[in-house]
Amino acid sequence: MPITRFMARILAGFSLACLNAHAAPNLADVFELSLRNDAEIAAAEAQWRASQEAAPQALSALLPQLSARATYRPTTQEVGTAQGDNASSYDNRSASLSLSQVIYDRRAFLALDQADSRVAGAELDWRLAQQNLILRVTQAYTEVLFAQDAVRLAAAKKQAIAEQREQAEHMHRGGVGTVTDIQEAQARHDLAAAEEINARNVQRIKRQALFKLTGQWLDEVAPLAASLSMNAPEPDDPDAWRAEARNQAIEVRLAEKSLEIARNDLEQARSLNLPVLSMVGDSSWQKDTDSGYSKSNLSYIGVQASLPILTGGRIDSVTRETLARMDQAARLRAKASADSELRSAEAFFMLKDSIERSRALTQAVRSSEIALDAAKIGLDVGYRTSVDVLNAQQQVFAARKDLLQQRYNFIIARLQLKAAIGALSQDDIHSMTPWLTP
């Protein structure tokens, strides 16, 4: 028996409370909360359950149909004659049982095949909804982490500039600095303070987005480990990923099911002018209690055939309509294939780009830190200015922020690439747990 959404929320809250007693929730924990709370995934699940009924409904048209009917009619009759009015009353009572069983109805058999296609399509829809939830949760999770990093970097940057301002003031008092150095440092400090305010506001917004998914307010989540293994995709060939996406993407398989259903609709339209053969049976009983009391029983069993002769052009019209819809489905299938190829290529190159840029930015962070140390030494010995130090600090913090962004881009691109070929699952969420610091 499925757990109600109310109970699911209680269990989710209890599990999170137990979790928070030990460590910040990681990506797998956040996904489990979202799986229970997210409205989109709940709606997709309800749609999946509803779609499962297509098969038994289609099958019912091929099974025996039994119906009963009963009638009771009290009647009063008044007849006027030369001798006066004459009134009489009597009752009419009847009951019947009717049975029918399809022997041949091509449309009904085609509808049964189509129901199987619809159920299979519903399964794919459900898988696509799960896949999209994984991407949405991971996107929201990494955005919260990056927002946390941005706040931390903004605060550290403001503190570093404040220290540089104090040094400029000290040097000015010693007669070796200028007012311009102090003013420049103050201006940079004011900008850093504004950046920190903006970063904290963005952090609140990202946490709210995560709350929408999980239904729980998370003060913190497990951050990325300092060491992240950023390996190239396997195979390291965009054409191989495009070829896989062309046929295996869930969107492509959904489009194929839609085309399959459209073909079935066309066959059903063409079968509208075919005969329908059924076995029929009926047993009826009738009694009239008039002045000439009568009672009758009638039973029969036989075969009934029906064949449309004139339909006012409806069959031809329905056939043309289904032909057009089949053409539409075929074109949407081609579009889905092209879109999936494009998504796989974008994810592949984004993944490669994040790896290469991370390597370059790692070196850029080292180089900018060395340049900052050199600028500070140069300031102490009189070869560099306070502005040079401030500029060097700006480069250090910009490089650090860009590097963090690329680490998160790598995670998103990695999942998007698997989604592009229809292979993304909850296992991919759990495989990233070692990358997160408890």
pLDDT digits (tens, 9 = 90+) for 396-413: 999 999 999 999 999 999
**Range 325-346 average pLDDT:** 97
pLDDT confidence tier of residue 214, bands split at 50, 70 and 90: very high
pLDDT confidence tier of residue 63, bands split at 50, 70 and 90: very high
pLDDT of residue 435: 87
CA-based Rg of the chain, rounded to a whole angstrom?
Answer: 38
**Range 373-388 average pLDDT:** 89
Which tokens go with 37? 């709370």
pLDDT confidence tier of residue 74, bands split at 50, 70 and 90: confident
pLDDT confidence tier of residue 87, bands split at 50, 70 and 90: low
270 CB neighbour count, 10 Å cutoff? 17
Contact between 389 and 94 under an 8 Å Cβ cutoff? The reply is no
At residue 418, does pLDDT exceed 60?
Answer: yes
**Range 320-345 average pLDDT:** 97
- Is omega for the bond preceding 64 within 30 degrees of 0, making it cis? no
pLDDT of residue 363: 96
At residue 355, does pLDDT exceed 60?
Answer: yes
DSSP-based three-state secondary structure for 259: helix
**Range 324-336 average pLDDT:** 97
Q: Considering only residues 228 and 393, tell me which one the structure prediction assigns the higher pLDDT.
A: 393
CA distance linking residue 157 with residue 398, whole number of Å: 10
Query: Across all residues in the chain, what is the average pLDDT?
Result: 89
CA distance linking residue 145 with residue 200, whole number of Å: 12
Q: What is the dihedral of CA 287, 288, 291, 292, to 10 degrees?
A: -60
CA distance linking residue 268 with residue 175, whole number of Å: 95
CA distance linking residue 372 with residue 156, whole number of Å: 15
Boundaries of every domain in the chain: 27-63+105-273+308-435, 65-104+274-307
Contact between 135 and 416 under an 8 Å Cβ cutoff? The reply is yes
**Range 75-82 average pLDDT:** 67
Give Cβ neighbours of residue 285 (< 8 Å, ≥ 6 apart). Answer: 94, 95, 96, 296, 297, 298
Contact between 172 and 181 under an 8 Å Cβ cutoff? The reply is yes
Phi, psi of 22 (to 5 degrees): -115, -50
**Minimum mean pLDDT range among 116-130, 223-237, 292-306, 324-338:** 292-306
Residue among 163, 147, 145 nearest 195 (CA): 147
Give Cβ neighbours of residue 35 (< 8 Å, ≥ 6 apart). Answer: 41, 133
pLDDT digits (tens, 9 = 90+) for 158-188: 999 999 899 888 888 887 778 888 999 999 9
pLDDT confidence tier of residue 434, bands split at 50, 70 and 90: confident
pLDDT digits (tens, 9 = 90+) for 47-58: 999 999 999 999
Residue among 151, 297, 281, 299 nearest 223 (CA): 151
Does CATH number 1.10.8.60 belong to domain 27-63+105-273+308-435? no
At residue 149, does pLDDT exceed 70?
Answer: yes
Q: What percent of the chain has pLDDT over 90?
A: 75
Q: What percent of the chain has pLDDT over 70?
A: 91
CA distance linking residue 379 with residue 373, whole number of Å: 10
**Angle (deg, nearest 10), helices 386-420 and 106-173:** 170
The H or E element spanning position 128 is: helix 106-173
Residue among 201, 188, 142 nearest 397 (CA): 188
Domain 65-104+274-307, second-level architecture = Single Sheet (2.20)
**Range 7-27 average pLDDT:** 55
CA distance linking residue 362 with residue 406, whole number of Å: 10
pLDDT of residue 137: 96
At residue 228, does pLDDT exceed 90?
Answer: no
pLDDT of residue 358: 95
DSSP-based three-state secondary structure for 292: coil
pLDDT of residue 167: 87
pLDDT digits (tens, 9 = 90+) for 248-299: 999 999 999 999 999 999 999 999 999 999 999 999 988 877 655 567 788 9
**Range 371-397 average pLDDT:** 91
At residue 139, does pLDDT exceed 80?
Answer: yes
